[in-house]
A and B are shown apart, each in its own frame.
Chain A
Amino acid sequence: MLEIRNLGKRFGEATALKSVSLDIPAGQMVGVIGRSGAGKSTLLRMINRLAEPSHGDIIWRGEAVSALRGKPLLAWRARCAMIFQQFNLVPRLDVLTNVMLGRAAYKGTLPSLLKVFSPAERAMAIHALERLDCAQLALQRAETLSGGQQQRVAIARALVQAPEMMLADEPIASLDPRSAILVMDALRRINREDGITVLCNLHTLDTARQYCDRIVGIAAGEVIFDGVPAALDDAMVRRIYGVADNDPRFDESATSTTAFENIPSLVPIAA
């Protein structure tokens, strides 16, 4: 169970996240939606402690991870694997090494700096790549891969961290619809098969509806919706995305990248 208590973040004068409180049971798949700048990324980065909270607590299984320092903090980052919009692989290293870097927090510093990996680590990396259907790419440089392949390699890297939770920050925002489906399917499968809690920032509403058990809507740094996808109605969606009630051009499917069967007709633009 992940408990977030009054978590907030300020950057100087600007407030990125006012005060967020959430309880997330282990094994849930949660979609976080909201406009750009609503504070979604800040929330995920604070849970992983890539960003320092200005106030509030993060508690995982009774342990206050927001107070961790030093080695336990590095171990925590490994336990809640982060997945980034731009994949954040090392482009000039091969795929296998990129994935094995997921073991960084578990290894001695010297062997990892010298890129010495044990057969078990290699096997684990290959196994993770096989689960993501990318094992055949193991010896290629990461920069030669397509976006969808890179994101799946990034998920394999997250898997070898043996994480208890996965935090995915807009994992499909830079991908084409087909790659987006592969990546979301992979996250969903890991969530179901491994029992890993998944927190996923999304800006496409239908993806959140389709894949997540629960949707959290954030606007202007505060949670304004928290419930099952079915409970999310048109009025609430307009509030989350800050669209006027009387603006007829707004349609939920307009936030979609994966709507194959339901392509909205072009909206005529007033000259």
Chain B
Amino acid sequence: MRENIANFDAASIAAIRARHPLAFQAPLSVRLRNQAAWFAFFVLTAYCFWTFDLSPARLWAGSGTLLDVASRMFPPTVGDAFNDYLWALFQTIAMAFLGTVIAAVLAVPLGLLCARNVLPVRIAQFFFRRTSDTLRGIDQVIWALIFVRAVGLGPLAGILAIIISDTGTLAKLYSEAIENAEKKQVDGIRGCGGNPLQTIRFGIIPQVLPVMLSNVLYIFESNTRSATILGIVGAGGIGFYLADRIRTMLWEEASFIMIMILIAVYVIDWISKLIRRRLIGGAAETSGGLH
């Protein structure tokens, strides 16, 4: 007789349930714990809504002013400083690029040292992990403000801010990829008598390299956007002009600058897509999809 779900009447279900009660229902303690966790989650969410007064009425009231500002942004106007904008935009992209490249390199040793499977020494791991937490725990803008004080206004402060915070971020992302690396290839190299550095170089790096590159490209895209903010606090680039135009209520010029930034971000997205396909794609070929 073939299996058939219709064979399972109340009596036979009860008999199987008696043999395997946990397959039908988790123990009371587990269910209570889960329910308590969900309850706490909903209470916290409701409390946040209440305490910040996120009511539809307030959003509605604010939207009127927002529409007013939006209408002042049209038509976008270039003003008389297009060449300055262009240079500043270039500066912003260059800051993002240089900062990301340096951070991507510095994060490699830090990421390796943070990974449990590379450095199985708890004390050292604690030290390196807290270092990377600290670097990225303080926001890029705060680092920029600090470096503007230290090295003066201009792109150098912005580049340093990107390097510091993204070394932390990338080290974290790298170390997670490294910890998820397959052990088989590692054992393969160790089994050949490879020393620890050779094992990392050939057992781990080739399999995590695509993930690392993908992270770096994403961070670069993201930095092109966020480097604008760094300009606003005085760390060079297009953000300086944008903040200035907003402050002086030149909304039409501000919207022109925003459009320039958008185009730059699109172009960089597109370029990084090409790079990604070139360096990482190929092996990602799948057959048949999900159907």
Contact = CB atoms under 8 A, between A and B. Distances in A.
A121 B5 contact: yes
B8 interface: yes
Q: Chain A interface: which size bin?
A: 20 to 34
Contact of A51 (B4, B22, B288): B288
Contact of B3 (A119, A124, A135, A139): A124
Contact of B20 (A103, A106, A135): A135
A162 B5 contact: yes
A127 interface: yes
B13 interface: yes
Interface string B12-33: 1100110110111000000000
Interface of A is mostly: helix
B288 A122 contact: no
Given A193-B1, A194-B3, A127 B23 contact: no
Contacts of A138: 20, 22-23
Nearest to A195: B2
B2 A126 contact: no
Given A51-B288, A96-B23, A122-B23, A127 B5 contact: no
Contacts of A126: 16, 19-20, 23
A75 to B, nearest CB: 14
Interface string B150-179: 000000000000000000000000000000
Interface residues of B, number: 17
B3 A128 contact: yes
Contacts of A164: 2
A153 interface: no
A12 to B, nearest CB: 12
A51 B288 CA distance: 7
Question: A51, A52, A96, A119 — which one has the most chain B CB atoms within 10 A of its CB?
Answer: A119
Given A50-B288, A122-B24, A160 B16 contact: no
Which of B13, B17, B19, B23 gathers the greatest number of chain A CB atoms within 10 Å?
B23
Nearest to B4: A162
A159 B1 CA distance: 12
A271 interface: no
Interface in A142-161: 159-160
B261 to A, nearest CB: 39
Contact of B2 (A103, A121, A135, A162): A162
A196 interface: yes
Nearest to A161: B3
A231 interface: no
A266 interface: no
B3 A159 contact: yes
Contact of B5 (A50, A120, A193, A194): A120
A124 B288 contact: no
Interface string B74-100: 000000000000000000000000000
Contact of B13 (A52, A106, A123, A160): A123
A122 B12 CA distance: 11
A139 B287 CA distance: 32
A256 B13 CA distance: 42
Contacts of A196: 2
Given A122-B16, A123-B12, 19 more contacts: A51-B287, A96-B23, A103-B5, A106-B5, A120-B5, A120-B8, A122-B13, A122-B24, A123-B16, A124-B3, A125-B23, A126-B19, A126-B20, A127-B16, A128-B3, A135-B20, A160-B3, A162-B2, A193-B1
